[in-house]
Structure 1
Amino acid sequence: MAVKHRIVSASTGKTVRAAPNAGGQSGSALPLRLAAVVLWIFAIAFEVLALCAMTEKIVIPFFANLSPLVAGIVLLVIDFIFVVAGAQFWKKANRIAPASEANALKFWLWNNMGVIACAAAFVPFIVLLLLNKDTDKRTKAVGIAAAAILLIIGGLASYDFDPVSAESYAQAAGTQQVYWTPHGKRFHTHEDCAALSRTEELTAGSVQEAIDAGRETLCKICEKRDAALIEKIKQTPKEKDAA
């Protein structure tokens, strides 16, 4: 049986009637984020190997028959594949658990973590190769050019041109209201969320009001329910354009 809560308005402090909620399918952002981080770690590892191979610091067994320049470029391409793959996982995770638009800088950084990872996977290589005095000019020129091209392509592939915000969760759930408890640390888009089953009183308000009250992140249970609705919102305009 669903728990009946007493809902208090965040703006007026008065008891209000609860708004209806909409359900959604399950989804989890954490495995996707972990996969992205692991792939980015591999990308940076291959960046280090590419630099070592191109500057002839080490000889990699699988690339022993290749010149340092060719071996370095091959390793850079592998670096590129890992960093872009990680970015796609991260962007997919953001469709499930998006950041709030309340802080514009944090919102941009969180949505474009793949771009930051891409920079980390190529910029140090470019700088260190440029500063290396033992590498010949041709190897430097080709290596830096290859890394720069992959950096640009990877950055564009990792950039989220159409990010979703936490505020859209409230809209997707069929209400402009979100809910939070007196002592909780998260806000909820569903008044019947299982995490609220033992709470008698809830505060209802906008996402901004929840953030102002110190509840800056969305409940994990609610984010799973809303994941499919967010994706549906993203796909609807594309379907209309196709029609």
Structure 2
Amino acid sequence: MSDQKVFVASDESKAKAKQFRVFAFLAWIVAIALQFFAIFKLISDETMVWLIVVIVVILALAIVASMLWKKANKLDPASEKDKVKFFVQSQLGAIMGVLAFLPLVILIFTNKDLSGKTKGIAGSIAVVAMLVAGISGVDFNPPSVEQYTEEINKQTSVLKDMNVPDNVHWTSAGNKYHIYEDCYHIANRDNKTTGTVKQSFEQRGISELCKTCEKRALGENENTPE
């Protein structure tokens, strides 16, 4: 158990995650503000077209916000130990996506001054938009500290089984870590970083070993006399 490595998001990852979350909240705030504008100014037969336009804009903002929120969670995930916090942080995109439309949907269908045609068209579009915003905000495989910890230890064990030290290389644009600094995939790159598997995961979210390096390491092990 002493060799167990626990995932901790790097300061850089936390800063990026914070930035993504701020932009996500700004998008949600604008979306909800537009919803209130639509509720007070656009629920009428005469402004149905503008109501539909605003619904589409709200949907776009909700989807963008959810994407940013998911990116933030990948960089700085919650722990599964606190079930409520983990659920809210993981699924906030879906929650906010629904909230960006639900009051509007209710008021469209309960407004006595609207014609059946306007209710049918605008109401249906609003319902579909709410469903799209909600579903697009759901994270079906939310990242967690525990999940990342398990992956880090799994990858570290892979290196150990190949008699390779936990000292790997990666680039700022890559999505794999490398055992060999002279691997042809990164040999001519200037932006290489060296560290442990844990660091590659915490700093770049990299959890996959380069297949070329893996094949080379296995070959060297086979040729090494016992």
Same fold (TM over 0.5): yes
Short-chain TM bin: 0.5 to 0.7
Deviation per CA, 1:135-165: give whole Å up to 9, x if none: 2222122121111001111112111112111
Asked whether 1:226 is paired with 2:205, we answer no
Query: Displacement of 1:133 after TM fit?
Result: 2.0
Consecutive unaligned residues in structure 2, runs of 5 or more: 155-197, 212-226
Query: In structure 1, what is the equivalent of residue 183 of structure 2?
Result: none
Query: In structure 2, what is the equivalent of residue 73 of structure 1?
Result: 52
Deviation per CA, 1:185-228: give whole Å up to 9, x if none: xxxxxxxxxxxxxxxxxxxxxxxxxxxxxxxxxxxxx9997152
Contact 2:20–2:72 (CA under 8 A) maintained in structure 1? yes
- Describe the SS at the equivalent of 2:134: helix
Query: In structure 1, what is the equivalent of residue 21 of structure 2?
Result: 33
Contact 1:24–1:228 (CA under 8 A) maintained in structure 2? no
Query: In structure 1, what is the equivalent of residue 40 of structure 2?
Result: 52
Q: Which runs of 4+ in 1 moved over 4 A?
A: 17-25, 222-225
Deviation per CA, 1:78-105: give whole Å up to 9, x if none: 0000011000000000001111112334
- Residue 80 of structure 2 aligns with an amino acid whose one-letter code is E
Query: In structure 1, what is the equivalent of residue 99 of structure 2?
Result: 120
TM-score (norm 2): 0.62
Contact 1:80–1:154 (CA under 8 A) maintained in structure 2? yes
Specify whether residues 144 and 227 from structure 1 end up closer, same or farther in structure 2 by C-alpha distance, changes over 3 A only: farther
Q: Distance in 1 between matches of 2:103 and 2:9?
A: 43
- Describe the SS at the equivalent of 2:119: helix
Contact 1:96–1:224 (CA under 8 A) maintained in structure 2? no
Specify whether residues 53 and 109 from structure 1 end up closer, same or farther in structure 2 by C-alpha distance, changes over 3 A only: same
Q: What is the aligned length?
A: 164
Alignment of 1:88-103 (within 5 A): 88-103=67-82
Alignment of 1:202-221 (within 5 A): none
Q: Distance in 1 between matches of 2:9 and 2:40?
A: 49
Query: In structure 2, what is the equivalent of residue 134 of structure 1?
Result: 113
Contact 1:50–1:73 (CA under 8 A) maintained in structure 2? no
Q: Distance in 1 between matches of 2:30 and 2:152?
A: 37
Q: Distance in 2 between matches of 1:81 and 1:55?
A: 20
- Larger RCO (CA within 8 A; separation ≥ 6): 1
Q: Distance in 1 between matches of 2:133 and 2:47?
A: 23
Contact 2:17–2:75 (CA under 8 A) maintained in structure 1? yes
Q: What fraction of aligned residue pairs are identical, expressed as a percent?
A: 26
Higher helix share: 2
Specify whether residues 31 and 52 from structure 1 end up closer, same or farther in structure 2 by C-alpha distance, changes over 3 A only: same
Q: Distance in 2 between matches of 1:135 and 1:113?
A: 32
Consecutive unaligned residues in structure 1, runs of 5 or more: 1-8, 10-16, 57-65, 176-221, 237-243
Q: Distance in 2 between matches of 1:68 and 1:42?
A: 20
Two-structure CA RMSD over aligned residues (Å): 3.3
Alignment of 1:1-20 (within 5 A): none
